[in-house]
Structure 1
Amino acid sequence: MPQDTLKHVSTLIRHMSLAEKVGQLFVLGYSGKDTDYAKSLVRELHVGGFYLTHDNADTPEEAYKLTSQLDYEAHLRACDAPLLLAVDQEGAWGVLVEHTTTGPGNLALGSADSLALTEKMHRVLGREIRTLGFNCILGPCSDINSNPNNPIIGVRSFGEETEKVAAHAAAAVKGLHSGGVVSSAKHFPGHGDTGEDSHRLLPSVDKSWDQLRRSDLVPFQSTIDAGVDLIMTGHILYPKIDPQNPATLSKKILQDILRKKMGFKGLIITDSMNMWAMRKNYAPAEAAVRALEAGADLVMLSEEHYENQLGGYKDKQRETIHGVIRAVECGELAEDIIDAALTRVLSVKYEREAFTHPARFVRGSLQSGEHQHIAAECAREAIRVLRNRSGSWPLKQDGFTLIGASNPQMHQLVIGTRGIGPNEPKAAYDVFKDELYTRGCRFTEVGYELLETLLAQDSRCRIDLPLVIVTEDYPLPGLDYDGAAQADIVRRAVDKFGDAVIVVALRSDYELGNFPELATYVCAYSSRACSARATAQLLAQSLEISATSEPA
């Protein structure tokens, strides 16, 4: 740390009240477009940052206005350190998705397996988010997909191979930095081997230190070596490491492992302390005190919608901050711990260029031709033909039948799930279908409401074969997508139409094990619009190639 920065920070801390110091260690979310409440948090509770979503600003102009107002508010304080303005713009999860270039997400980048593309795509993410005034992307997701049935990681991970995930996570950090934002690897020490969603309950992973060292920790070490700024904790219990405390509250994990063994000198930020993994097991203020004592620098309460459903989330935020202040005042939590964390936090904010708010918003910097081209290339390079037993791919002729296996009502739930969903008006299947129309492909669509009739064994429905079935998935907190129902549709179709069934997966390939009899499976590793378009273009191109290669 430069001596000038350290001297400035030390002087500031000496002149700050306890309330000012504690408030700086909190990153809060809030409901809807209640900007006045957000400003009051800066003025009255001295908060150090915000977790922002599509719910808080759903147009680029609104986003820039919001970040400008919050930045202005922060600079009116005696401690004029800028705010951490963080978003989940990680590809699979995102904000302002209709207006920004998300790319296909990490699992698709892992499938493409080009470190250069991963770095380019994350540079795009950083540039566009930075244009809007946000300064932190809570990524890359550095978890390894060790458990294919994991309900919350999936397409957010770069894959299931340790070294590949490590290499791409480091490339992502480099890309985010060159895009002008600070980065946050997550969810330490690894959420990929859980069978549960920590938004709902507290998962447990029965791995030893040696197992962790050789697997889950490798990508995090790679991001540390690449200069990652923050590491986000996971609300996960590792009983062979610390039988009493989940990672977020564990000194053994945060200090002995992350700080000492792995040499991380950046900021440790908790995953949202409102998630049920925390709330069902710990009182709000108690959890925050224990996290700071364990070694966290920033306490995040981003999942405001959970408590907003029950009412009183604003009171909980205030009670949590005041609870930490009281813990220091009564000697339960040493003020030295607060000062040490604050020194790290303020030093990063004063040192990094990312915390200088952009002077103006340039509309043309979003979804530029260059950025769209990079996203399309990433999506195209990710597509894999994983099964082709009957030689049905590429398709030999127009006139096939198309169905979407996902219930259209599910996408409406996805759109309405907070501000980190797709936020796109069209489901991946609809984007795929529309691109086929644009490309001049001739096919017949069977609507979802007619699938039961089509798949009944005694049905006399006549269709053009092959039958192309599109599956999709969206891993969002607290939402179970209809994967089981989609798998049932595929199995019934194979039972009836045999090798004439082709599955196009706009999702991960982890469903493939459910279809041992399926002959043809093409996977995009993403449900993003760019991947849906790229896969449709591949199908259309395959038809053109097949047609031109047929003998006269």
Structure 2
Amino acid sequence: MIKRICAPAGIALCLVLSIMGGNATAKGYENEKTVSDIQEIVENMTIDEKVGQMLMPDFRNWQKQGETKATGFIEMNSEVASIIKKYHLGGVILFAENVVDTEQTVRLTDGLQMASPDLPLFITIDQEGGIVTRLQTGTNLPGNMALGAARKESYAYQSGEIIGKELSALGINVNFGPSVDVNNNPGNPVIGVRSFSSDPELVSKLGIQMIKGLQNQNMIATTKHFPGHGDTAVDSHYGLPLVSHDKERLRSIELLPFQRAIDAGVDMMMTAHVQFPAFDDTTYISKKDGQEIMVPATLSQKVITGLLREEMGFDGVVVTDALNMKAIADNFGQEEAVVLALKSGVDIALMPAQVNSLQMEKNITSVFNAVKAAVASGEIPLNQVNHSVTRILELKVKRGILNPEDTPIDKKIETALQVVGNEDHLKKERKMAEDAITLLKNEHKTLPFKPKKNDKVLILAPFDDQVESMSRSISELAEKKKIKKVQITGMSFSGKSFTDQVARLIDESDFVITGSYIVKNDPAVNDGVIDDSIQDSSKWATAFPRAVMNHAKKKDKEFVLMSLRNPYDVANFEEAKAVLAVYGFKGYSNGRYRQPNIPAGISTIFGESRPKGTLPVDIPSVTKPSESLYNYGYGLDIKSGRPIKK
């Protein structure tokens, strides 16, 4: 349980909180007295306290003194508490390693807050829904592109509402989502199904509804990755992407959802480690190789202050994407990256230094001192620091973080156990996922499959958890007497070549379900013909399912191709008679379905649910890249076989 303690440096704050009483709610700080009180707090803070509010490290793993290696930080300890107190940290970010079950997470967040009694922490997490989820006991949801396929704004709101309820119950107060990147590059290796669509209008509508769902649960919502990571071919975790479009194009496509989110009152904005020369072509000599590079948006004053603050009118909190990502870390170095980011106008430097033991505390010390030195020299103006800290504290007041309810820990745990991953949330999750399934081909009414008793169903998917998800989903349909009881054989094929053994499995089966998982289409193409390369295991992602498809066709087997991740990969399987997209690849592991998408696909394949999704993106042809194989808005009705109209 958090107990408010008035240390000397915190007396002004505690006085303000007592004045505000119960008024620090979601509607909170509009009255002038509260704003002036925050200004008074900032004026009385030391430079150390101000700098600390602007730093947000992770404690993803921790190695205690006397232990041999770092393991997931799941239980609060005095070592982490000492770092939070010493550097006056304003927040921390949690990862899957930190949130292994509901009760443990509540105890951890409670312990983190007790380490910062005067200025409670932003406790943040990336719970986007879909393929980017951290909670290991929460509701995963089908993800943004699935919501784009379903085309229902109410589903986007529900997703935000569910995420907001679950995170709040766990003691987490900031969600780093939604992503409002416009995914108009089919080769994008990092966004893909994390985006709602390639249409900025649809992205805007769904993004705003998810923001409202989150914020109506008093959860801080964060749009990312400003000014747009959708049209990139490089993953900024590993390199420095470039978006070379002109200002007019960027304003009409990439920037539109961010502007709409700002107009709708989004709380926070996360930057992108992407170069945007149309807005800033300032160069920098890379520390990695001495080459001249352009400064990415995260470190650009022209982008953060000029574009986001002054032109677009955002006065909320700006946080960087993780500064330990290679796009930043390799080229700029730890200390300089943090200084440049804060100098550009961001308010919070996320993951500014790796600290997973007391021995590594020197990393945060070095960054902390570098920022203080930059403030002392005027490189980062003190007035700018004061503005950032004011924005941070105002947001903490607005969302009730500075005046938390005094709830006993046992009551918090009881509430969280009732909220996180509850049946109502799971029911809504299933409905969203089923309505998102997009049927792209169904020649000769291949679907739905109608197996007879003891027919043999062969499942081939890239990874074991996907095979398990499909197998369990089929077995559950049989147990509920939705289909006849069938014999199921499953095999994962990641890294494998098509062999005679696989051919025999197909020969012995009545129905074949194959999953495809291709992050970026890159088949061997020769004179416009896809080369199956079936003996080349390095091409397994494309070659193996194509070989299965061709052999099943040759043997006249009932075959369906299920696109598990980016729907663009269906272009590699033009010859398939039945194809559907589910927009999510996570399967069944650790005793639970980690996404509802695969079970929803199985439900469609066997006729238990009717697919209603239409494509939220164009799918270009692989053999003729200038042509579209399936257009935005395309999807078939399984009964009539005609395109769905929305």
**Which band: TM-score by shorter chain?**
0.7 to 0.9
Q: Specify which of 607, 623, 634 is matched with residue 541 of structure 1.
A: 607
Judged with a 3 Å threshold, the aligned counterparts in structure 2 of structure 1 residues 125 and 355 are, in CA distance, closer, same or farther, namely: farther
Aligned equivalents of 2:518, 2:162: Cα separation in 1: 24
Q: Does 1:464 align with 2:479?
A: no
What's the TM-score, normalizing by structure 1?
0.87
Aligned equivalents of 1:226, 1:89: Cα separation in 2: 21
Q: Is the 8 A contact 1:275 1:303 kept in 2?
A: no
Shift of 1:81: 2.6
What does 1:331-350 align with in structure 2 at a 5 Å threshold?
Answer: 331-350=378-397
Shift of 1:369: 2.0
What does 1:237-316 align with in structure 2 at a 5 Å threshold?
Answer: 237-244=275-282, 245-301=295-351, 304=354, 314-316=361-363
Q: Specify which of 30, 41, 45 is matched with residue 16 of structure 1.
A: 45
Q: Specify which of 219, 223, 231 is matched with residue 181 of structure 1.
A: 219
Q: Specify which of 571, 578, 598 is matched with residue 532 of structure 1.
A: 598
* RMSD, aligned CA: 2.7
Q: Does 1:495 align with 2:553?
A: no
Give percent identity, aligned residues only. Answer: 29
What secondary structure does 2:236 align onto? coil
Shift of 1:313: 5.1
Q: Specify which of 87, 90, 100 is matched with residue 48 of structure 1.
A: 90
CA displacement 1:141-200 (0-9 Å, x = unmatched): 111111111111112111211111111110110010122210100000001111111111
Q: Does 1:29 align with 2:87?
A: no
Shift of 1:328: 1.4
Tell me the residue number matched to 2:578: 520
Tell me the residue number matched to 1:373: 427
Shift of 1:203: 0.8
Q: Specify which of 491, 498, 503 is matched with residue 452 of structure 1.
A: 498
Q: Is the 8 A contact 2:271 2:321 kept in 1?
A: yes
Tell me the residue number matched to 2:189: 151
Aligned equivalents of 2:518, 2:86: Cα separation in 1: 42
- In the TM superposition, structure 1's runs of 4+ consecutive aligned residues that sit over 4 Å from their partners are 354-358, 454-457, 472-475
Aligned equivalents of 2:150, 2:352: Cα separation in 1: 32
CA displacement 1:351-402 (0-9 Å, x = unmatched): 2235654622311112222111111111111111111134211224343532
Point out where structure 2 has 5 or more consecutive residues left out of the alignment. Answer: 1-29, 62-71, 283-294, 479-484, 521-536, 587-594, 611-646
What does 1:108-507 align with in structure 2 at a 5 Å threshold?
Answer: 108-244=146-282, 245-301=295-351, 304=354, 314-353=361-400, 356-357=403-404, 359=407, 360-361=412-413, 362=415, 363-398=417-452, 399-408=455-464, 427-440=465-478, 441-448=485-492, 452-454=498-500, 462-472=507-517, 485-498=540-553, 500-507=558-565
Tell me the residue number matched to 2:69: none
Judged with a 3 Å threshold, the aligned counterparts in structure 2 of structure 1 residues 353 and 460 are, in CA distance, closer, same or farther, namely: closer
Judged with a 3 Å threshold, the aligned counterparts in structure 2 of structure 1 residues 543 and 23 are, in CA distance, closer, same or farther, namely: closer
Q: Is the 8 A contact 1:182 1:354 kept in 2?
A: no
Aligned equivalents of 1:143, 1:483: Cα separation in 2: 31
CA displacement 1:479-529 (0-9 Å, x = unmatched): xxx995232112112332227431122323110112222221111112343
What secondary structure does 1:541 align onto? coil
The one-letter code matched in structure 2 to 1:518 is: A
The one-letter code matched in structure 2 to 1:61 is: E
Shift of 1:319: 1.0
Aligned equivalents of 1:483, 1:319: Cα separation in 2: 43
What secondary structure does 2:96 align onto? coil
What secondary structure does 1:108 align onto? helix
Q: Is the 8 A contact 2:467 2:490 kept in 1?
A: no
Aligned equivalents of 1:543, 1:137: Cα separation in 2: 32
Shift of 1:317: 2.1
Q: Is the 8 A contact 1:433 1:536 kept in 2?
A: no
Tell me the residue number matched to 2:140: 102
